[in-house]
Every structure is written in structure tokens, then in C-alpha cells.
Structure 1
Amino acid sequence: MIVRFFPFSLLAPALLLSSGFIPLSGQIPDEKREHDSSLGLHFVSIPGTPALLATHETRVSDWQAFISASGREWSYKPHFEQGPDHPVVGITLEDARAFCTWLTEKERAEGKLNAAQSYRLPGRADWDAAAGLLRTRKPDLTVEEKVADEQVFPWGMAWPPPAGVANLANGEIPGYDDSFPFTAPVGQFKPSAEGLYDLAGNVWEWCWDPEIRAEQVGVLRGGSWAYFRPECLRSDYVYAVPVDMRMPTIGFRCVFEDKQRTATMLAAAEKIKAEIRSQRREEIMGGAVTKDDLAAMKEKLKNAPATAATSSAPLKPAEAGQAFVNALGLTFVPLPGSSILLGSTEVRVQDYEAWLKTKGGTWENKAPFLSLDHPAVGVTWEEATAFCNWLTEQDRASKLISVNASYRLPTDLEWSQAAGLTDETGADPSQRHEKASRHFPWSAEGTFPPPSSSTNLDATRIEGYRDSYSYTAPVTTEVANAKGIQGLGGNASEWCQDPWPGAKSERVIRGGSWLSRDQDQLRTGHRQHAPQDSRNNSIGFRLVLELPAP
């Protein structure tokens, strides 16, 4: 396998956040926070990022717990012996993301995490902060400090490394010996000031920034037991490799994040930066700002309610041909050639639970892996229809939709049109199913498998395809089609309005799910059908908003 080296400094802007303020001196403090996972992974706060980082790399024992609980196929073995407290190796980017997703869903189901809390991989800025790069801790750097950021190692400026700082290429660095020919148990070497172990050496660690969609190339940080070149061990070094690279030098560590706290910190940081900019303008204009004034401002912001800013703009009523957001936050887009608006995503758990709460109902057999932004699966056709009727009444009462408008499930033909299948033949869903062409929601040309991470399928059983979710995924994670519609290829199969021909109590089901793997069954024109009172953890639904014809 060809590995591409990119020996350049990281150029992406780092997070300049803290729990309190960004003082004019530039140093960013942070309150000490800690968290422990159910696997015994310990997380600590780091100045410069709102996330908490695991103090050590993910261990063989942690990975084995994941494999055992998830049933994920795993046969990789390095050419050397490892104990349960060694870092797991042979990990691809998708493997590492799948572990984080599993641990998140496991602990949400156990009540240890709420819907805003999750585990993930570090972003590049998280890693910069963990490594102590000055650009993550000061808003303004001198030329000397910028040069230092490009030259520093996780242990400092010394080369060769001082004894006992890292597990590196034993015997390849003159004057350095770490006593471990391959991986070492985590926590054997001197930690950082915040208590992080093995930021240099032992194993390379995956980083991932979710807003970066092109994922043929992934990012590793930190060096490994096989590395000895100083330029590859510097704190800001970025090692770019294929995302499916599987090597005995590659592992990962996790991050714990509370998104509510992150949002609060972002809002607080923006307020403070705005006030500081205002004060600086006053200074330029001759106004005097004393230390007491600045201290009072910081105290005022510190004691302000810790809530993220939300938009108070009123929702606009639905109009034919125009995108629409309803009171639940569901987005609808026009379906060309019709007067309907189609839900751009599947109905979420949070939407479905809002309905259950108003009617005092319970969710029978709710799957334990569901989070608020996942599709509502395990729902019968009858329940989905009742949800549509309830939402119609709600949005009519609030005048978001007219008295002649209503929510419903899509018809079989509307679903096909939304997925880009417009030339079907056949008088009913059964006949159209029999004549299904080689068209997929992600490819009219019949390309299979889909691009990695473009949808959510049973990735472990599809050769050449990878995604990051062992179960369902948040509804907005899939790549949207040209109409702006997500999730038609996988995640959850979806109920349609139509009865199945010859079986009036059964209803049409369209699209793949997180359990799908057979390419014939994933063709856009493939139909399933099931009794309307049945439920399955792979079946959910999306909405149509039918508006009066103009």
C-alpha cells in the first residue's frame, strides 16, 4: 500500500475557546473537568477545546468489549503479542468511528449519557490543544511563538528525546532506548501537564473533522513505536494516509463531548470577544478601560445564564414550491412536478416522542440504540399515520399550514420520484417491483457499492463499502440527493401510503436500512411489504405535506 507523507504544519484554525473568558493577555484558562466511561476510559479537560480527551489510547480490552457486544467481524492480529492494556492496532478510520458510535449508544441506553453527550474522535484542533500548541491557547502569537509551534515535540524542544518520554523506534534514535520493541501498555511514559499519555509514540492516532466530506484521505497524529524521524514526531505534524489503511502502528483515542456545553462556550466566547473588540475600539478612541472594568465584565459574563443562543425568528407558513420548516424543526422541500412538499429526512425520535408525550402514550419495544436525532424506527404503519394526523392538527392550529393542507405518508410513486426514479412501468407497486431496473438512490447508473459514508447500510457485509454506524445514524448524516433529500438509500426503510396488491392489510415499504446489504434489494425500485400493524427496528417513515392545488 502506498502511503503519502505530507510534512506540513496544520493550517486549519484552532478553537480559541474556554469555559470562562479570553483575556487580553492571550492565555486561555479552563476549569478542570473529568469524565469516566463505562469501560474505564478516563477523560480530562484540555485548555483550548471544550471537549474532554481520553488520558490514554483505546486498549485491546476496550476493543474486545466492542467486538463482543456489537458482533462486528474482527480477525486482525499484529505480528507481535499484545496484552489487554496495550493500545489496539490495525484500526481504520471507520473502525475507530464505529467504536465511538457504539460506546455513545451503549451509554445512552444505560442512562449514563444524555442526548447531547457523545464520544467521538478528536478533531485536528482537539489534537493541537492536547499537544499544547500555543495557537490553541493564545489568540495572538509572536513570530517566535509561531516558530516554536512548528519545532516543538510533545515532550518539549529537546532532541534526542529525554529518557522515559515516549515509545518510539527502539534503537533507531541514537542515545535513546525505551525498552519496548513494539507497543507498550498505555500509561507507561511521562504524561502531559493535563495527564495525557502517549501523545508521542506507541501508536498513530486517527483524527476526524466531520465537516470534511472528502474522506479518501485521513489524518493521523502523534507518531508510533516504529517512528524515529524528528520531523514526523513534532506536535504539529500531520500524517495523511488512506482512510482504510490498516497497520500495526495505527490506533486511536476517544473524545467526550457535551454539545450543550460546547454551544454555551461558543456563545460565551463570542460575547466576550465582542466586548473585548468594543473595549479596544474605546481605547483607540481615547476611552480608558481599567483593570477593574475588565474584571467586572468577566464576572458579569461568568454569572450569566449558561444557555446557547437560539433563533427567535417566527416560522413562515408553508407555500407550494418553497422549502418549509415546521414547528418540530422538520424540513420539507418541493417535489418537482407536484404540489407536495417532501420531508428532507426521516421523522426523528424527538419528533415521534413529542407526539407520544401529548397523547400520554408509550413507545412499545423502543430500540435501545435510538438517540433523539436518529430516525424513529420500530413504528407501525398505523402509528405513523396517527402521527401525521396529530401533526396536521398542530400545524393547522398554529397557522403554519392551511386548513386544507395535511401531512401524510408518501405514495409509492412519490417515493420513487423523490429518489430519482421517474421512468417506472407497471400499474401497481407489485408490478413496478418486478420490473425494477439497476438504479440506486445514490446512482442512476447502477453503481454499487455506494461511496463510503454516503449512506448507512450493513457495512461489515458489503465488500468495498464502509460507514461509521453499527445501528441507525442521525438523519442528517447521509449525503443528500439533487433534490436535497437524505436517507433514501439506507438508515431506515420507510412506510408508504399504498396497500400491497392482493393484501389490503399490508403496506408498501421502500428503501434500504442499516440492516441492508444485498444489492438487488437496495435497488431504488425494490419494494417490501408488511402488515400495517407490524413493527421492525429497521423501518421508520418520512412525511409528505400535501398543499391545496393553486
Structure 2
Amino acid sequence: MRRPPSHLTALVLGLAACFNAQGQTSLKPEGANPNAPRVSSLGTRFANIPGTTVQFAIWETRLSEWNEFLRQKKYPWSYQTHFEQSPEHPVVGVNLQDAVAFCNWLTETERERHLIDSSQSYRLPTPEEWDSAVGLARGRKKISLSAEDRLLDDQIYPWGQDWPPPAKAANFADGEITGYANDGYAFTAPVGSFTPTQEGLYDLAGNVWEWTQPVEIRAQPSGILRGGSWAYFRAECLTSGYKYVVPADLRAPTIGFRCVFDDKRRTASLLAASDAEKKQALEERMKAMTDSRKVDATAVEALRKQMQGKGDDSGLPDPASLKPAVADGSSFINALGMRFVPLHEKSAPLICVTETSVRDFETWLRDTGRNWSQKPSFLLGGNHPAAGMSWEDAMAFCAWLTERDRVSKLIPASASYRLPSDTEWSLAAGLKNETGADPAARHLADKTHYPWTPKADDWKPPALSANLDATKIPGTTDNYSYTAPVDSARGNALGLYEMGGNVSEWCADAWPGAPEERVIRGGSWLSFDKDALLTSARSHALKTASRADLGFRCVLDFGTP
């Protein structure tokens, strides 16, 4: 595989690209191709990426470039690694401010030398631009994502869907990944040492974490890293969509960055073309939906608002594909893509097969103008369970979802979403014929049943049956440090996921003798105690309380016609 040029060669190539034979700067004349790949004065090449208007550096910022910045800027930085690096290795030990300072310096330097003008600049990529670079559908598609797109975005890796990674996929902590061949580097590797993406970008997976920053630059206590590093090995940390939120002032031997090149004129041109394409596509969809008479005016109006810039591209299901819910025990997919199945054989009510996801919860927050004040500090991907909300929040979500689906005529006027009752939750988890007059009396009454129905001589959950604190359950493993995608474990007999782990779940019932407290069922990613993992185990908390391991799932009740 071709390696990047040495620092001296790179500098010569960069200067050659910027000067013509007469020694004049090669500012592109008006009318020149704005999509031509850029080469910086430091020799870094940039590539066009579908779904974004900026050009991405094909590799992480190298130590050679960083040292030139330190030399010219006299920037105060004295970080030392505990391992050796050549000039072609990525710089590490930079915090968010350091990375921004480098981009600003490079912009100022090239403007002073008339290599770029005032409408052009170098900066860090935004998290959304990084989504485009790594190939996520949410970063590259112009119109609403399908349910399959959304699911794949939460599961795919920069190299594809395989786990463990294929040989020479990236620079990881290879000794920690079962089945992954040694990549040849104990620490960082020279940039460009591994297989590039289709657009020619190197090391979007592994080597070093890369800083990203929103376009609206402001003082911020934390920053978002993407891509993994030479020290990482857990599968969930290496997915393409993983966001690692860390303090903005953190310097570490696993953290570096890459730049993007932003040309405002090119951006304006591409956005105008993209808007025209979106409008045409939405007009075609609206016409097809109206002609087919498969949806009511509400869905058409939603598309019209999207065309006018009043909606959002949230990846919701195509309304034309949805069938209204009926109380005959049929499964049902609602406007958010949540799938419901009958709790009792061929009869209502219906229960959601998954815990309410971050994506669905955030749709409610946006629509109602609320803030997620108790959002957990660890990363929550869109397909992970929402956690850190009160019982009252969960009830408000159900009321909002009821009104939303009634208006669109996906559920009848008599139907409503709600939280499951304590007894309904037991049935959903496979525990039937419980004895006891109330949740307190039923608590731990059955000492044999677990949601994953293990072998009689072993209570421990089989592989892929629940996301628990496996580090404290001898002989048990899982792939998640915190929550897992809501449908990553095996489904139970009803097809329901994570009835025994991931997040504990609010139920509708008040706790006996404590009218302000509500019942909580099921284990979570923090659970490990044998008795606490029994299906019959209950806990309770104030309905205003919130925890990082507590979420909910919905029931669709058809009520009285």
C-alpha cells in the first residue's frame, strides 16, 4: 500500500500545487472547477465526500504538519508520548482547542500567502460531516431514511458489517479482538497504512480518535470524538455512528484530528443544487401519495411542510407504507417505526417489541420543545434505549404519541398509548399465573423464572440474551459497556427484546402504600445480582425520579369503541 510522502516531499508537492510555472499563486480563476480536490500548503490532499459540501483531508493531521505549526506559531504545547513516532504518524495529545488553533493557523497562513481567499478556510469537521465521510445513510441521503437505513446506521462499521474486522482494516488493539489478525502496530501507525474508503480517506476507523466540532463555535465543556483508536477494541465503540463525548480539554495518546476544507462559494452552489433535487423528489412523492389515495391529507401536508423547510428529515417511515392498527391481534408499525405485537394470542392490547429508543424520544422532545435535562452522560446512539427520564416524562410521551397517531388515523379515536401495567409486564416477560394482590405481594414470589428462560441448572443468561453488567457475572460476557441497541439481544417467545436487561422499565402502577412512587421492572446494564434479575423482581421510585439505567416501553390499548 502506498505510504504518504515524507514531510519534505509533501511540502514540495504542496507548494508545487499552489504555484504555477511563473511562480504565481494558483488561485483558481473564476469559472474553474470548484470540485477539484485541494492540496494544502503542507502537502495534505483533500477529497470530495457525498452528502457534504466540504472536502476532507484524506488522512489525520501528521506530526510533521503539527511541528511546522508549533515552529511558526510558537504555540505553547509540550505533550510527550510514551512511544516513538515518525513525522508521518498522526499527532496525538491534542485537545479541542489545540486542533482548532491548528486549523485557524493554516487558514491564516494560506490567506496571507494568497493561496486561499476570505471565503475559504480550514476547520474541524462537524459530527454530521463526519457521518457523511464514514458513509452513514443519515449523512448521505437527501430524503427520509428507511427503517432499514436507520437500523444499519446503528450497526455498521467503517469497513462493513463484519465482526471481527477483516485483516488490515485498521489500527486497533488487535490483541483484544478475538479473531482479528495482528495489524503490526502496538501504538499509532503512519497515516495511510490501512485500506482507504471508497473516496480515498484513511483511518476513519482506528489509529487515533478525531475531534469534531459543530459549525456554531462556542465555549463548550465537552467535545465529540469519532473513529476509535489504536487502543480500542469493543465492538460498540467502533461502529461508524459511535460518538465519544469527552472533556474538551482532554489530551491523550489516543486523540488526534483531521481537517476539512470549506469553500463558501462551492457550498452555496452545492446546496442550491441539492435543494432543487430535494424539492423535485418530494414533489414526486407527494403526487404519487395523492394519486394513490393511500394516505390522508395529514401526510401530504407533512411533506409539503418539509418542502417548505418547516419539517425535518427524521428518517420516519413512509406514511404510504403504514396500515392502521386494528384490535384483532395483528402486529402494527406506527408513525415512528415502532413495532407492536399482541400481548395475548390474537387479541389486544399490543406491546412494543423494543424499549423506546433515543431516536423516538428525541422526536418527542423536538416536537414539544422540551429538553432532556437528565440525559445520561455516556453516549446514546439513536437505536439505543432512551434513559434518564421520569415516569411523568414517559406518560407525556405516550400522550403525545397517541395524539400524533390519532390525527394521522393510524389508530382509532378510542385507542391510546400507555405504559404497561405490572401484570402486563410479567406476561410480556413470560411469567404467567403470578400470585399476590399487588406488586409488593408479587415481588420475588416466583424464585425460578428469568426473562431469558435459562437451563434449569443455570440461572445465568445465555449469550446475546440480555445486556447486563457481565463483568460481575462469572462466565458471562457481552459487548456493551453501557446500553445496547434496543433490538440487539435475542427476542423472547413473543418477539420482545430486552425484557431482562439494557434498561429497567417504568410501569403504570403506583407502589402499594406510596402513591407518589411507581413500579419498575426488569434488569439493566447495571444489574448482576441473581435475585434482582428474577422476572418477579420489582423496584420502585418517585414518579419524578430519573436514572441512567431506567427507560420504558409502550403499550397500545384499543379501549372501548
Q: What TM-score, normalized to structure 2? A: 0.49
**TM-score (norm. length: structure 1):** 0.50
